[in-house]
Amino acid sequence: MLIRIPNVLTPEEVAHCRRVLEGAGWIDGRVTAGEQSAKAKFNLQVPENSPQGRELGEIVMRALGRSALFATAALPLKVFPPLFNRYDVGMTFHAHVDNAIRHVPGAGVRIRTDVSSTLFLTDPEDYDGGELVVHDTYGQHTVKLPAGDMVVYPATSLHSVTPVTRGSRWSSFFWTQSMVKEDAKRQFLYDLDMGIIEIRKDLPDDHPGVLALTSSYHNLLRQWVEM
């Protein structure tokens, strides 16, 4: 399941994030990589506990809270505090799988990484290369979105970032522990919810078909949710 979510951040929020990041102290991105990923990762990152990272992370979290599509796609239980990275010319991230468990710094909390998210902070025309490539059973999916848009995909997916050849690609990235652990079940619920939304455009909410589908959605959610 790879879902593109437009306009997670407003243009004003994107511009503010860019201004703050321009004054941030960037470090080697391998500080948050696992043993395998560290061998494949070549980028820069804002320190997790930096004032800039915390401020912008709160902006992203508020934006997620108002995104109905993110809620439907990820069914979030816990969200790892958003991180921020950049790829300058020559930087890349070879194919890898994200760590299954992440420790939230200073909180004594662990999350299971069910869903990965990349929130773009640079418009596509401002850099060449830097595409996110997600590999699944149906092939490779290349993602390069406008600033403020986000993509979510299973953290179990092999994925990579192609080398940047011009400009600089900035983004926020984070993981979500979903209330529904299995990607296939999340995909089924997402498709069902999207279908219900479409049907409600043509039928009243009290139509027997709408009521039956909505009941089925929530009863399946009841069976599959882990809290």
Whether residues 135 and 209 fall in one domain: no
Domain boundary among 159, 178, 197: 178
121-163 per-position pLDDT tens digit: 999 999 999 999 999 877 899 999 999 999 999 999 999 999 9
Whether residues 44 and 149 fall in one domain: yes
Whether residues 132 and 196 fall in one domain: no
Whether residues 100 and 207 fall in one domain: no
Domain that includes residue 197, residue range: 183-224
Whether residues 187 and 172 fall in one domain: no
pTM of the predicted model, to two decimals?
Answer: 0.94
Whether residues 169 and 194 fall in one domain: no
Q: Residue 5 belongs to what H/E stretch?
A: strand 3-5
Whether residues 40 and 150 fall in one domain: yes
In our burial notation (b when 16+ CB lie closer than 10 A, e otherwise), range 114-133 reads bbbbbbbbbbbeebbbbbbb
Q: Name the domain count of the chain.
A: 2
Torsion on CA atoms 29, 32, 37, 38, rounded to nearest 10: 60
Whether residues 172 and 190 fall in one domain: no
27-66 per-position pLDDT tens digit: 998 877 666 666 788 999 999 889 999 999 999 999 999 9
Whether residues 141 and 196 fall in one domain: no
Whether residues 55 and 167 fall in one domain: yes
Q: Provide the CATH number for the domain around residue 111.
A: 2.60.120.620
Which residues contact residue 59 at a Cβ distance below 8 angstroms, ignoring those fewer than 6 apart?
Answer: 9, 13, 16, 17
Whether residues 92 and 144 fall in one domain: yes
Here the tokens at position 103 are 């420790």
Q: What pLDDT is attached to residue 136?
A: 83
Residue 115, classed as helix, strand or coil, is: strand
- Mean pLDDT across the chain, nearest whole number? 94
* Nearest of 107, 93, 8 to residue 48 by alpha carbon: 107
